[in-house]
Amino acid sequence: MAEKVFMIALSPTMEEGAILKWRKKVGDAVKMDEILCDVETDKASMEYLSSQEGVLLAIVKDVGSSAKVGDTIAVIGEAGEDPTPLLGAAPAVPQAASAPAESKAVTTPAALSAPAASSVPAASAEGRTKSSPLARRLAAEKGLDVAQIPGSGPGGRVVKADVEGYTPAPAKSNVPASSPLNNDRIPVSRKRGTIAKRLSESLFTAPHFFLTLGIEMDGLLAAREKLNEKRKDKLGLNAFLIKFLAEALKRHQALNASWEGDYIQNHASVDIAIAVAQPDGLITPVVRDCGSKGVLQIEGELRDLIDRARNNQLKPEDYTGATFTISNLGSFGIEEFTAIINPPGSAILALGATVKTPVVTDEDNIVIKKIMKVTLSCDHRVIDGAVGAAFLTELKGMIEDPYRVLL
């Protein structure tokens, strides 16, 4: 018996998805838990696994179409079944049944006598565009020329709805044909829209304050280089930094907590996310329980997560629920920046490039040190300035003198 296939929530925050690719075509057999299609969610591209068996009778949402959670995207049933009664109308793409006989269009006298809808503004005998007073006032407020707006009212009269729905044609560009720049309008993807929404909420809801200091990296970089001399797979700097962060967070619970309105939620596990750039936005894969793991294990998990993130293969549990986040732009040569807190965490650490810098010692000598600037963004509802400063000082001490981790 034919059944509808509904769009389901493929991530915790998904409300709508877009069909990226159908893995099956109309008429194909579909098995339980077989990949039916690829869906772009608000976070990543996800595989939609079928919960039904049978034959794909109709595809309701074609590639590029959007569907809210609960919308029908396809019909699965037995071979030869007609899905039309389920849909209440003809499906978006051909059915699995045999093609209907070609029909000829019939032109009726009524069709011939019906006036065509006007696509250009209608002018009166005096040359003035027919328009309602409200339409003229709205056009003036928007800075639009009412004469350029197509009218849908009687006789092509411009009405309020025409003004509200009118989009002026873009101005002609003077950009040379050889220029790499363009005037394209790029549709906002669900991922980019979600990033914009969540970070706007974070910045304008959580009162941010920022703490910056420089950390001497010479000792850590030398230790890493020595370890990597005997390793085929080199250890990355992020794995060391995540380990030190985890140890500092274990000593400063307030930085590993979330604001929940009526209470502050402490987290027993240190789950650290790292921002990874993708063509259409950022995603933050999470290394879980970093406080109980060594650098080698963190490195292996981090490498796997970043690889899957760049190939859109992360599952929702891989990028949600971080208690702390780091964002590293050092590889781009950025020396110092501030980052917006990634909810539900209450802090994020921005890591800059390691730069050779003249430093004045306690003996007033000038020496060259490799300095990395770090900036801690804190949610003031959870973290006070002195608490954030103590955490950052602890982290600095650990990185500059790794033996402190053993204490």
Active site residues: 380, 384
Q: Which residues partner with 171 through β-bridges?
A: none
**Residue 384 to residue 84: CA distance in whole angstroms:** 62
Residues in the chain: 407
**Residue 239 to residue 294: CA distance in whole angstroms:** 9
Q: Which residues partner with 209 through β-bridges?
A: 378
**Residue 220 to residue 229: CA distance in whole angstroms:** 14
Q: Which residues partner with 1 through β-bridges?
A: none
What would the two tokens of residue 238 be? 């992020």
Start-to-end Cα distance in the chain: 67
For 2-77, strand residue ranges (E) read: 3-6, 16-22, 29-30, 35-40, 45-49, 54-59, 66-68, 72-77
Give the Å distances, CA to CA, from 401 to 250, 365, 366, 395, 398: 17, 21, 21, 10, 5
Chain centroid offset of residue 186 CA: 15
Coil, strand, or helix at residue 381?
Answer: coil
State which amino acid sits at residue 94: P
What would the two tokens of residue 148 be? 């350029």
DSSP state of 236: P
**DSSP-derived pairing of the beta strands 66-68 and 16-22:** antiparallel
